[in-house]
């Protein structure tokens, strides 16, 4: 009975309490009308709270009508709503890119953005997906301060990405890409931008030292899309359009070509090369039109589904990218799938697995320059009277006297393709035995198979000059199996409310194995498609094969601490052991430390909080390495060479490279200082950073001294020299909303100064790009090194005065209209010693400006990128302006070139002989200002929400690379590094030529979510 009263009393009390409360319910969704599970719903000023369920629904009791409810969720801007008379409140949360509680991936961990102490830039996948690109780094251009991206045209081309300049001269400058925690090398061509959830760029060593020996060029962490709790949600993204390839030059027609060549011949004292030019009027061969497609299709498509429950989330997508080449033959095609499953078996035990099968195929001719360079008089096909009827289909083309091989015929013969198949499996197990302690093991296996096939048909276009008398077939199959296993334990604890600490320790193991087999044969009975097999070759069959392996074992740790959200410290330590080095230097340590002071949280800053939303200072230091050298440089190698001895060709062996037992990593030591700020609730925010990084023990491939007895071409890798990069990164963002109109702008500004501090010996000169660049102590690496073209000789007086002090002509073969080369050292001779610095491939600064506007359901984005202060060597000048060769020239060259006093001070006179070496001497004639501003992307979109039975439907129209403002007269001002195979990756930077340009592209886009 007693209990009955008690129960009655309790029930009465509850009724009384609830009697004064109001029950509020509703749904929380995002802008795309997708329910958001797990949103915190709190009655402001009370401890009453709840969370949205699987479908975004919530129910909460509030004390009275004057109460306010606050809705908050990671990655979204919190909203506070007054109750008043409402009983149902439906909320649409807006995504926030600047939220300080946003999670940032930092390498083997993820932390809140506010806790980051080092230099890390984040960019969301959505921003990267605004452009249709094959390689996602192309879309990164201008969006992250401190990152310079130089675009490369052509299907499958990989842009050059430099993070805070360069820190090496001889090794790769590409950053390390880490996808979902697994290092994937220095290229991400395999990844569709639609697969990416977010990207973090680790810019300084305090951030990247956790990746140790591969982090000297910076690290880019990529997180792919994962499933989210909620109902199954389907997405379909399609972007399709045309890449435009207009002829960058207005080439001479047949009549004009004859006039130009005759002028060149006459100026050199020869009779006309093509008498009576008017006879060629109307007989121009339009090679460009015959072989180059003005518009080539490009398509990027993705279809995915994601969703899940508290116990299991999933995301699956299939992605397709296709870019045809401008030749109408070949291109690049990529199909990838990504299937991610995450399981939460218990509160303590979870696991996940991601499968990523991929297929790529690529290959395209590369001779588009020949369509401009071949003379316009030669017809495409041989005239009928020259055909015997016995020619095969590749032999019916005409031969050009210009010595340019018929480009239409070359494209017709093209058969050089690569297919690549990969499967990546990435899984993890995670166990949390006690609160705050997470033990995780993650493993990845990458299996790849690449097959390269090439067939060259036999043909005879000209018996002496343009032929292949026997067909050849070649095929190479390359397999790789790489695996990674990493184990970490992380303990996070808050002591005495204000001391927040986290310690992570772990180890990783990686192994990379590859092998290839290769076969070659000649004399396939005919050129038909079905016969293009090695087994069909009847002559000179040959084969080869090789295998290689490298491995890395590491121990890693990170300690993070902050006091009361004001003072932060992070220290990391990595110890790497690499198979690339011998016992003396097999292991190396890569420590880092960084501190941050979030001054805004100090009491004395309280009054500024109306204006300031964030203010903190950062400083970091760290050491990272570069081990991107060939796998087995610690081995001595024997090379093979053929020599004629006593009239006999003898197969000989010689020591081609020698082991250096002391070889070790290039080490980059980096310090950086930064300030992050936010104003007016982060409407205006940004960061400013200064960095300085020094590279020690740089790796150089050095020749042996003559007295050593080794042949001159024997080489050895050795650690010598040092260099330094320093600069400023600046990011300023502004965003606001006025009614239905929202707008925002991000400005990135990056400066880089690079200087060689020392080389292997005093006064050493490192030449690059066929002696056209020089690298010396105290200067930036790879500056353009040549003669100074001091205008043209306009009259006889100028010509006569260009002598030494005794009247000896400095340029004895010069004539009026030739280039006057400067006697730089004033010694009265024009020789190698007069070569000097004539330009720099390195930009003074790069700028990105990213604008976005929204009005109701319309959205507009515009991205601009600019590189200022760099020079480019326009190698095409020789092809286009030099009368010494028989290749076609630009239209009107006879008027552009010097033809009398005052007619030109830039383009030398036309000359068949070029005795003055106007074009063969590398001079400032070739060096042009490479600065440019490019509109990377302009996109207008319109979204429908909850229409047509869909959650969201967005259509868009965009133009990429539509406008470029530059004084550079070459093909494209985006010019990257030189040939890495000749060691010119850095030392050959900035040489523009007939590089496949970054093409303007017009695209239609469609995004559907349901």
Partner 1 sequence: MKKNLFLFFLAFFAILTGCQNNESEFPSSDDPTVVVSTKEIYGAPSRKFEIKAALADDLGLKSVEIQIPELSLDKVISFATDPLLKSYDLSYFFEVPANRGTSESFKIKLTITDVSGNEVNEEINLRLDGEFAAPSITMITPKEGAVILLSTSNEMPVIFVVNDDSGIDYVQVKCDALGIDETVQLTGSPQSYTFNKTYTLPVTAADYVLTITAKDKFAIPNTGSLSVNIVATNEYPAIYLCDQPKGTNLTTDAVGVPMYFHEKNGQDFEFKYYADSDNKEIYFLGQESDFAPHCFGLNTSGELADDVNSSPIILPTKGYYVIKVNPNTLKYTATKYTPSSKVWANIANGLWHDDEALRRPFVSVCGGGIQGADWDTWTAWVQTGLHLANNPNNPYQLVGEYTLTGTMEATFTGQWWNPSWRLIKNGICTMSPGENGNAKYPAAAGVYKVVLDTELERVFITKK
Q: How far is the CB of 60 from partner 1 (least distance, A)?
A: 60
Q: What are the phi and psi torsion angles at 783 (to 5°)?
A: -75, 155
Q: How many residues does the chain have?
A: 1010
Token pair 């008379």 is at which residue? 85
Choose among 219, 227, 187: nearest CA to 108: 219
The DSSP code for 591 is E
Residue written as token pair 């931008």:
193
In sequence order, the β-bridge partners of residue 940 are 860, 957
Q: What is the rounded distance in angstroms from the CA atom of residue 696 to the CA atom of residue 691?
A: 16
For partner 1, give the closer residue by CB, 294 or 801. 801
3 state SS of 363: strand
Q: Locate 961 and state its tokens.
A: 């690379």
| CB 808 to partner 1: min, Å | 7
Q: Which is nearer to partner 1, 589 or 796 (CB)?
A: 796
CB of 803 to partner 1, least distance (A): 6
Cβ–Cβ < 8 Å for 212, 626: no
For partner 1, the closer of residues 405 and 881 by Cβ is 405
Indicate the residue among 795 and 946 with the shorter CB distance to partner 1.
Answer: 795
Cβ-based neighbours of 988, under 8 Å, separated by 6 or more: 768, 769, 773, 782, 977, 978, 979, 982
In angstroms, the CA 530 to CA 524 distance is 11
Which one, 66 or 648, has the nearer CB to partner 1?
A: 648
Residue at token pair 């047509």: 948
Which one, 469 or 832, has the nearer CB to partner 1?
469
CB of 791 to partner 1, least distance (A): 16
Q: State which residue, 444 or 885, has the beta carbon closest to partner 1.
A: 885
Q: What tokens were used for 71?
A: 């809705």
Q: In the beta sheet, which residues pair with residue 1008?
A: 236, 953
Give the dihedral of Cα atoms 214, 161, 668, 561; nearest 10 deg.
Answer: -80
Minimum gap (Å) between residue 403 Cβ and partner 1: 10
Nearer residue to partner 1 within complex by CB, 16 or 644: 644
**Closest approach of partner 1 to the CB of residue 826, in Å:** 8
CB of 646 to partner 1, least distance (A): 8
Q: What does the block give as tokens for 413?
A: 């013969």
* Closer by beta carbon to partner 1, 794 or else 1001: 794
CA gap 616, 595 in Å, rounded: 10
Minimum Å gap between C-beta 526 and partner 1 is 18
Task: Measure Cα distances from 312 to 126, 495, 1010 in Å.
Answer: 24, 33, 20
Map residue 118 onto helix, strand or coil.
coil
Query: Which CB, 61 or 803, lies closer to partner 1?
Result: 803
Sheet-wide strand order for 49-51: 49-51, 40-43, 68-72, 79-82
What residues make contact with partner 1 under the rule CB under 8 A?
464-465, 469-470, 540, 647, 795-797, 799-801, 803, 805-808
In contact, 955 and 942? CB cutoff 8 Å? yes
H or E stretch including 987?
Answer: helix 984-987
Shortest Å, Cβ 797 to partner 1:
4
Question: Nearer Cβ to partner 1, position 540 or 543?
Answer: 540
Q: How far apart are alpha carbons 256 and 211 in whole angstroms?
A: 60
Would you say 494 or 801 has its CB closer to partner 1? Answer: 801
Q: What secondary structure letter does DSSP report for 546?
A: E
Residue 827 beta carbon to partner 1: minimum distance, rounded to whole angstroms: 12
Kindly state the smallest distance separating residue 806's Cβ from partner 1, in Å.
6
Minimum Å gap between C-beta 807 and partner 1 is 4
CB of 801 to partner 1, least distance (A): 4
Give Cβ neighbours of residue 995 (< 8 Å, ≥ 6 apart): 152, 153, 971, 972, 975
Tell me whether residue 810 is exposed, middle or buried, using C-beta atoms within 10 angstroms of its C-beta: 0 to 12, 13 to 18, 19 or more.
middle
Residue burial 557-593, b: 16+ Cβ < 10 Å; e: rest: bbebbbeeebebebbbbbbbebbbbbeebebbebbbb
Do 945 and 990 meet the contact criterion of CB atoms below 8 Å apart? no
Record the tokens describing residue 560, joined without a space: 């993070």
Neighbours of 17 (CB within 10 A): 11
Please, what is the minimum distance in Å from the beta carbon of residue 459 to partner 1? 15
Q: Which is nearer to partner 1, 638 or 644 (CB)?
A: 644
Could you write out the DSSP letters of every residue in 264-304? HHHHTTPPPSSS-GGGGTT----HHHHH--SEEEEEEEEEE
Q: Which is nearer to partner 1, 445 or 470 (CB)?
A: 470
CB of 645 to partner 1, least distance (A): 12
Q: How far is the CB of 901 from partner 1 (least distance, A)?
A: 12
Minimum CB distance to partner 1, residue 160 (Å): 36
State which residue, 344 or 802, has the beta carbon closest to partner 1.
802
Q: Transcribe 605-641 into DSSP letters.
A: GGGGGGTEEEEEEEEEEEEEEE--S-TTTTS-EEEEE
Our CB check for partner 1 shows the closer of 472 and 888 to be: 472
Q: List the one residue out of 511, 517, 588, 513 whose CA is nearest residue 546.
A: 517
- DSSP string for 648-698: EEEEEEEEEE---TT---EEEEEEEEEEEEEETTTTEEEEEEEEEEEEES-
CB of 887 to partner 1, least distance (A): 17
Question: CB neighbours (10 Å) of residue 984?
Answer: 20
Q: How far apart are CA 169 and CA 782, in angstroms?
A: 9
Question: Under a CB-based contact definition with an 8 Å cutoff, are residues 846 and 164 in contact?
Answer: no
Q: Is 648 or 706 the residue whose CB approaches partner 1 more closely?
A: 648
Of residues 647 and 949, the one with the C-beta less far from partner 1: 647
């Amino acid at each position: 009975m007693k209990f009955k009263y008690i129960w009655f009393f309790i029930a009465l009390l509850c009724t009384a309490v609830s009697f004064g409360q109001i029950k509020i319910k509703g749904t929380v969704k995002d802008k795309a009308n997708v329910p958001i599970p797990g949103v915190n719903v709190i009655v402001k000023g009370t401890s009453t709270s709840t969370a949205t369920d699987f479908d975004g629904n919530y129910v909460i009791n509030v004390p009275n009508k004057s109460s306010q409810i606050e809705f908050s969720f990671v990655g979204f801007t919190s909203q506070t709503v007054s109750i008043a008379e409402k009983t149902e409140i439906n909320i649409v949360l807006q995504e926030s890119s600047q939220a300080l509680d946003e999670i940032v991936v930092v390498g083997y961990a993820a932390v809140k953005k506010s806790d980051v102490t080092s230099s890390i830039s984040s960019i969301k996948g959505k921003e990267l997906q605004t452009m249709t690109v094959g390689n996602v780094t192309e879309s990164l251009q201008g969006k992250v301060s401190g990152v310079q991206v130089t675009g490369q045209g052509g299907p499958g081309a990989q842009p050059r990405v430099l993070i805070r300049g360069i820190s090496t001269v001889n090794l790769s400058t590409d950053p390390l890409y880490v996808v979902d925690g697994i290092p994937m090398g220095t290229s991400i061509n395999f990844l569709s931008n639609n697969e990416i959830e977010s990207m973090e760029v680790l810019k300084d060593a305090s951030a990247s030292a956790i990746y140790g020996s591969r982090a000297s060029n910076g690290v880019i962490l990529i997180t792919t899309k994962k499933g989210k709790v909620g109902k199954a949600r389907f997405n379909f993204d399609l972007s399709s359009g045309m890449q435009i390839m207009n002829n960058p030059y207005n080439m001479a027609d047949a009549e004009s070509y004859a006039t130009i060549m005759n002028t060149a011949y006459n100026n050199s004292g020869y009779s006309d090369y093509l008498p009576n030019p008017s006879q060629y009027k109307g007989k121009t061969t339009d090679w460009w039109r015959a072989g180059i497609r003005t518009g080539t299709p490009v398509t990027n498509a993705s279809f995915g589904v994601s969703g899940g429950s508290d116990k299991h989330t999933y995301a699956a997508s299939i992605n397709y990218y296709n870019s045809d080449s401008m030749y109408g033959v070949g291109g690049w095609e990529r199909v990838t799938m990504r299937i991610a499953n995450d399981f939460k078996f218990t509160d303590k035990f979870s696991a996940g697995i991601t499968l990523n099968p991929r297929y790529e195929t690529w290959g395209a001719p590369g001779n588009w320059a020949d369509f401009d360079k071949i003379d316009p008089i030669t017809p495409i096909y041989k005239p009928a009277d020259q055909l015997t009827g016995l020619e095969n289909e590749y032999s019916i083309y005409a031969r050009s006297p210009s010595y340019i091989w018929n480009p239409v015929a070359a494209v017709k013969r093209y058969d050089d393709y690569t297919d690549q198949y990969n499967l990546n499996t990435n899984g993890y197990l995670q166990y949390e035995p006690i609160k705050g302690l997470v033990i995780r093991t993650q493993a990845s296996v990458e299996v790849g198979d690449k097959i390269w096939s090439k067939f060259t048909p036999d043909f005879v276009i000209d018996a002496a000059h343009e032929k292949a008398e026997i067909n050849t077939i070649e095929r190479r199959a390359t397999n790789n199996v790489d695996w990674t296993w990493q184990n970490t334990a992380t303990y996070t604890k808050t002591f005495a409310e204000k001391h927040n600490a986290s310690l992570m320790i772990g180890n990783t193991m990686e192994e990379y194995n590859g092998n290839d087999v290769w076969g070659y044969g000649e004399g396939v009975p005919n050129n038909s498609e079905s016969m293009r097999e090695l087994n069909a070759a009847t002559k000179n069959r040959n084969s080869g094969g090789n295998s290689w392996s490298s491995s890395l074992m590491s121990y890693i740790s990170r300690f993070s601490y902050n006091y009361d959200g004001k003072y932060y410290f992070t220290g990391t330590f990595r110890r790497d052991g690499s198979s690339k080095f011998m016992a003396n230097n097999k292991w190396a340590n890569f420590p880092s430390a960084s501190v941050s002071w979030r001054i805004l949280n100090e009491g004395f800053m309280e009054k500024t909080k109306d204006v300031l939303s964030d203010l903190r200072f950062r400083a970091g230091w760290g050491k990272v390495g570069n081990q991107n050298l060939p796998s087995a440089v610690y081995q001595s190698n024997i090379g093979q060479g053929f020599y004629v001895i006593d009239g006999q060709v003898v197969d000989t062996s010689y020591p081609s490279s020698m082991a250096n037992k002391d070889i070790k990593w290039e080490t980059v030591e980096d310090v950086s200082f930064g300030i992050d700020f936010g104003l007016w609730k982060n409407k205006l925010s940004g960061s400013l950073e200064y960095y300085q990084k020094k590279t020690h023990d740089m790796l150089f491939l050095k020749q042996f001294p003559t007295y050593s007895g080794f042949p001159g071409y024997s080489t050895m890798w050795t650690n010598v020299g040092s260099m330094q990069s320093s600069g400023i990164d600046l990011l300023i963002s502004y965003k606001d909303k006025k009614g239905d109109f929202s707008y925002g702008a991000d400005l990135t500004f990056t400066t880089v100064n690079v200087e060689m501090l020392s080389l292997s010996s005093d006064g050493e000169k490192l030449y690059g790009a066929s002696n056209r660049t020089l690298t010396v102590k105290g200067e930036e690496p790879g500056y353009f090194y040549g003669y100074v073209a001091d205008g043209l000789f306009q009259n006889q007086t100028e010509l006569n005065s260009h002598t030494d002090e005794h009247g000896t002509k400095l340029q004895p073969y010069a004539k009026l209209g030739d280039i006057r080369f400067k006697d730089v050292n004033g010694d009265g001779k024009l020789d190698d010693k007069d070569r000097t610095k004539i330009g720099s491939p390195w930009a003074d600064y790069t700028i990105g400006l990213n604008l976005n506007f929204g009005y109701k359901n319309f959205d507009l984005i515009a991205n601009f990128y600019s590189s200022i202060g760099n020079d480019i060597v326009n190698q095409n000048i020789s092809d286009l302006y030099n009368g010494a060769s028989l290749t076609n020239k630009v239209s009107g060259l006879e008027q552009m070139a010097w033809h009398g006093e005052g007619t030109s001070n830039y383009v030398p006179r036309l000359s068949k002989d070029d005795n003055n070496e106007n074009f063969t001497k590398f001079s400032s004639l070739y060096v042009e200002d490479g600065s440019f501003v490019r509109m990377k992307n302009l996109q207008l979109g319109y979204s429908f929400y909850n229409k047509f039975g869909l959650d969201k439907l967005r259509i868009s129209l965009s133009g990429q690379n539509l406008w470029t403002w530059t004084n550079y007269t070459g093909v494209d001002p985006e010019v990257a590094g030189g040939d890495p195979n000749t060691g010119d990756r850095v030392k050959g930077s900035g040489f523009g030529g007939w590089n496949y340009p970054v093409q303007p592209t017009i695209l239609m886009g469609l995004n559907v979510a349901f």
